[in-house]
Amino acid sequence: MELMNPYQVAQQFGLKTLEKSEELSGSKVSLKIGLPRESSADERRIAVTPAGVSLLKANGHDIYVETAAGQDSGFPDQDFTDGGATIAWSAQELYKRSEIILKVAPPAEEEYDYLQQGQAVISALHLGHTTEKFLRHVIAKNITGIGYEFIKSPDNSFPIVRMMHEITGSMAVQIAAHYLENNQDGQGILLGGISGVPPANVVILGAGIIAEYAARTALGYGAQVYVMDNDLARLRHLENALDRRIITTMATPQYISSALQVADVVIGAAMVEGHRAPCWVTRSMVQGMKTGSVIVDAVIDQGGCIETSRQTCHSDPVFTEYGVVHYCVPNIPSNAARTATTALNNLLVPFLLDIGDAGGIREALWTNVSLRNGTYVYKNQLTKKALAQLFDMPYRDIEMLIASRL
């Protein structure tokens, strides 16, 4: 018996990967949406699945997928064409044919010239590594830039950030367990211990979503888990959510320094939404850690919260400093590319349908508060104060730009 691929299952049994159902009612305008292949060899995700393409196509939109764009996440070109997409044989062709570019990572420098005047780009921005050059380029081309990190729902949650952080938190502990092994220059200890042998000490910096899922996974392994934050309410929430199975402390320099001296694993998860991550761990604190202990800086894409961190990649993920193994890969969910792609699809396809129903990007910014919150460049203007402060550039509030009809 021949096994069906996910697209065929979706077609035959009506299953969709979207979290909420959408009626196939046809949109007000037909959007031309491009899904380019990510230029980095370490980025394996694509933003929309073939089932998502099928739903967008059924609502009257044209989807262009660069050849092999979904290959690393388990979705070959044939699945996309079965869903109604058109295959573009180069990035240049795809950018020329698309009104909206939907990416995982922000456009790389080699893609700058492909961007078209007045295009919309929806992607992560990677606040810790974005550049003034990129911002000035998209401003000059009148790009509408919407960043995953900024998309905020009316309830003040960040849905795309949350979804990726759930994956990151879970994977961070798996990664740390691997690098504790002897053949990875670790201490040679088992994260959860065994009968008569105590478990590893896992110190998690921050009490947000990454921290919660890291704590859940570490507890599942059987580790002793410490969570540190400077927000007492968040610590209390996490402690209650995990049935008081974790030890919580305030993230003062004294407490952090003491905890790191006994830590076998440190998960860096301290961050502020829409801003660079705060640096909580100094170089001298890392020097005081045990040889063979492991640091996973899970917010390195936001600049990192540990002074000794520097960005690495999936093909060369670790370095050792002061005898401590550092794992500082910015796109951890890329190593679970199929899960991460499906998660992105669940959240992004409804946004695209809303844009079509509204009549285009400009109209959608009036009606969709999440997309409006996510916009960092609009009408040749920077619209985020945090970016303006970071690069000493002028900015205009997005609400004012929309209201003025510029």
What does each C-alpha distance from 362 to 100, 102, 251, 379, 406 come to in angstroms?
Answer: 12, 16, 43, 10, 11
Report residue 231: phi and psi, to 5°: -115, 105
62's enclosing H/E stretch is strand 62-66
Q: How many residues does the chain have?
A: 406
Q: Which residues contact 241 (CB under 8 A, 6 or more apart)?
A: 212
What does each C-alpha distance from 206 to 150, 162, 201 come to in angstroms?
Answer: 19, 14, 16
Q: Catalytic one among 72, 301, 326, 357?
A: 301
CA distance 91 to 121: 14
Alpha helices for 32-105 (secondary structure H): 50-58, 77-82, 91-97
Q: Is 333 left (phi over 0), alpha (psi -120 to 50) or beta?
A: alpha
For residues 264 and 200, the answer to whether their CB atoms sit within 8 Å is yes
CA distance 323 to 395: 44
CB atoms within 10 A of CB 400: 11
Please give the structure tokens belonging to residue 142: 């009148």
In terms of C-beta density within 10 A (0-12 exposed, 13-18 middle, 19 or more buried), how is residue 101 classed?
buried
- Concatenating the DSSP letter of every residue in 135-160 gives HHHHHHTT-EEEEGGG---TTS--HH
Q: Catalytic one among 126, 229, 264, 357?
A: 126
Residue 126 falls in the annotated catalytic set: yes
Which residues carry out catalysis? 126, 301
